[in-house]
Amino acid sequence: MISSKSNREIELMRQAGKIVALAHQEVAKYIVAGVTTKKLDQIVEKVIRDHDATPSFKGYGGFPASICASINDTLVHGIPDDTVLKSGDIISIDIGACYKGYHGDSAWTYAVGEVSQEAVHLMEVTKESLFVGLAKAKPGSRLGDISNAIGEYVFSFGYSVPLEYAGHGIGSSLHEEPSIPNFGQAGRGVVLKEGMTLAIEPMVHRGKPFTRVLADDWTVKTKDGSLAAHYEHTIVITAQGYEILTTL
Ligand code: MG
Ligand code: MG
């Protein structure tokens, strides 16, 4: 049973979401050749703490940082370190903030300087697939309608999605039921109701869907080394459709 959130809970998630959006806005200014991913992590952590929130990811399952910083063929869960960004890289930054016990979660892929046409296209398709999926988010729709819309859009460009990573419910826990895959059958799954809060997050590979996890037990890369992109918003289902919570 997936419960709807109260208005009070949704308001706290709106605050958490704003803090995540502010952190993205701030970190975006620093995404240039020469910066380390550790520096980006510090910038985000400061924004989150300056707004009386805590980084949702830090310590989650032992994750050591406030952001996931995933470069080029890293799909998700890259650990910030002394890696220096260079022009032509793409980097997916995933940010979570917890405000008064409620979470916001949003990822975005950024270009570092001039990037290839292939990278630009992958980013555009992945970002668009998020909104194609969101267009299905309304009371009475089924979860599979969102999953199917994302998958069909992505596959129409010959791209793929990883099978084992998905969006999720969110609230007082970072990850709640249900799991929201980026592919699936329309008309199947949970019926959406007003007040449900979900993190929709297409992850897209230019190549095949297979992944591998590095020895650090976190970093997930595409197995074939192809580029990957990742866009995510936390939303609440409203009477009319949906509201994005991870926005300013
Ligand atoms: Mg996320
Ligand atoms: Mg998420």
pLDDT in tens, 181-195: 999 999 999 999 999
Q: Looking at the CA of 197, which ligand is closest?
A: 2
**CB 12, CB 101: distance < 8 Å:** yes
pLDDT, tens digit (0-9, with 9 covering 90-100), for 104-145: 999 999 999 999 999 999 999 999 999 999 999 999 999 999
Listed residues: CB within 5 A of ion ligand 2: 105, 199
Band (pLDDT 50/70/90 cuts) for residue 148 is very high
Token readout for 171 is 């609230």
Q: Classify 85 as helix, strand or coil.
A: coil
Torsion angle (degrees, nearest 10) of CA 85, 216, 27, 176: 150
Please give the Cα distance from 139 to 137 (Å, whole number): 7
Out of 3.90.230.10, 3.40.605.10, 3.40.50.2000, 3.40.50.300, the CATH code matching 7-244 is 3.90.230.10
Please, is 41 exposed, middle or buried when counting C-beta atoms within 10 Å of its C-beta (0-12, 13-18, 19+)? buried
Residue 2 has a pLDDT of 82
CA of 130 to the centre of ligand 1 (A): 13
Residue 160 has a pLDDT of 98
CA of 113 to the centre of ligand 2 (A): 26
Interacting residues of 76 by C-beta distance below 8 A, sequence separation 6+: 68, 70, 92, 94, 107, 165, 203, 220, 230
pLDDT, tens digit (0-9, with 9 covering 90-100), for 11-48: 999 999 999 999 999 999 999 999 999 999 999 999 99
Nearest one of 223, 103, 110, 117 to 163, comparing CA atoms:
223
CA of 33 to the centre of ligand 1 (A): 24
* DSSP letter (8 states) at residue 60: G
CA of 109 to the centre of ligand 2 (A): 14
Q: Looking at the CA of 76, which ligand is closest?
A: 1
CA of 61 to the centre of ligand 1 (A): 14
Q: Which helix (H) or strand (E) holds 213?
A: strand 211-213
Average pLDDT over residues 77-105: 98
Residue 193 has a pLDDT of 97
Please give the Cα distance from 236 to 191 (Å, whole number): 14
Q: Is 90 exceeded by the pLDDT of residue 1?
A: no
CA of 25 to the centre of ligand 1 (A): 16
The upper half-sphere exposure of residue 106, i.e. CA atoms within 13 Å in the direction of its Cβ, equals 27
Question: How large is the angle between the packed helices 7-28 and 37-50, nearest 10 degrees?
Answer: 140
Q: Classify 224 as helix, strand or coil.
A: coil
CA of 246 to the centre of ligand 1 (A): 11
pLDDT, tens digit (0-9, with 9 covering 90-100), for 209-244: 999 999 999 999 999 999 999 999 999 999 999 999
CA of 114 to the centre of ligand 2 (A): 28
